[in-house]
């Protein structure tokens, strides 16, 4: 798939290829792309599964408002339906070669299983990551890292310099992943999490536009794509897909 992507980008115009690389990242595991309104029902379900205590303050209607908020940006990780994956890639190639919009058609997107999402808000030159969530059956498969990478990449392309986030003090695995991407501890928010009054560790990347960060980030991105190219794809039978989607 990565080889095919490179061939198509080579044949496309530089402008089209640049837009493609800015919007989507395709790995063996799943496709990471900007969130669309058709994704709201599944994002709502993932959010409530991952953050049950905090989700009490986020009614379904709030997700539509987020999509209209120019400061809010979301990326999703998705797996196409076993019955529709060929259709999605044919449609994607057709849109690319004809210069049309790169987002999948609504009918195709409705047959994708979202396995995770990430969101951030932009305030001046800061991007604050507010959530990274992965469906429980798909955790520990590199999807969370793909979402983080995609969110940072999108934030950098939106000309932010500072990227920040909070993480539970007890979540050492996540903290290790954040450090890998250049986050450093800059503070603590006492009793930040409402479910158990746990402290939050505040972490940040100071300059995502800097040459040093961009060089290291490009290496990380290449490593993720190389590992994912060798990874076993998420495979769902049509029946299992329909059950998960429900």
Hey, which residues are catalytic here? 166, 178
Q: How far is CA 84 from CA 96, 166, 239, in A?
A: 18, 37, 13
Give phi and psi for 109, each to the nearest 5.
Answer: -60, -30
Please say whether the beta carbons of 126 and 160 come within 8 A.
Answer: yes
Tell me which long-range contacts 80-83 makes (C-beta under 8 A, separation of at least 24).
Answer: 80/31, 80/108, 80/111, 80/112, 80/113, 81/111, 81/112, 81/113, 81/238, 81/241, 82/236, 82/237, 82/238, 82/241, 83/111, 83/238, 83/241
Please say whether the beta carbons of 65 and 114 come within 8 A.
Answer: no
The candidate with the shortest Cα–Cα distance to 114, out of 44, 56, 60, is 44
- Structure-token pair, residue 12: 């496309």
């Amino acid at each position: 798939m990565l080889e095919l992507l490179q061939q198509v980008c080579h044949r496309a115009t530089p402008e089209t290829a640049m837009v493609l690389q800015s919007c989507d990242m395709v790995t063996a595991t799943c496709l990471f792309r900007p969130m669309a309104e058709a994704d709201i029902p599944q994002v709502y379900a993932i959010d409530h599964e991952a953050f049950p205590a905090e989700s009490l303050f986020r009614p379904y209607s709030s997700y539509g408002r987020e999509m209209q908020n120019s400061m809010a940006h979301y990326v999703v990780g998705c797996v196409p339906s076993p019955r529709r994956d060929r259709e999605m890639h044919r449609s994607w190639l057709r849109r690319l070669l004809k210069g049309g919009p790169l987002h999948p058609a609504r009918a195709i997107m409705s047959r994708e299983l979202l396995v995770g999402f990430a969101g951030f808000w932009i305030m001046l030159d800061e991007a604050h990551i507010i959530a990274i969530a992965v469906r429980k059956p798909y955790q520990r498969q590199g999807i969370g890292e793909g979402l983080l990478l995609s969110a940072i990449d999108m934030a950098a392309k939106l000309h932010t310099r500072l990227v920040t986030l909070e993480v539970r003090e007890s979540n050492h695995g996540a903290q290790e992943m954040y450090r890998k991407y250049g986050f450093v501890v800059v503070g603590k928010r006492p009793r930040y999490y409402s479910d158990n009054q746990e402290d939050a560790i505040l972490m940040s990347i100071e300059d995502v536009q800097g040459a040093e960060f961009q060089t290291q980030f490009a290496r990380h991105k290449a490593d993720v794509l190389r590992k994912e190219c060798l990874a076993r794809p998420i495979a769902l039978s049509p029946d299992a897909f329909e059950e998960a989607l429900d």
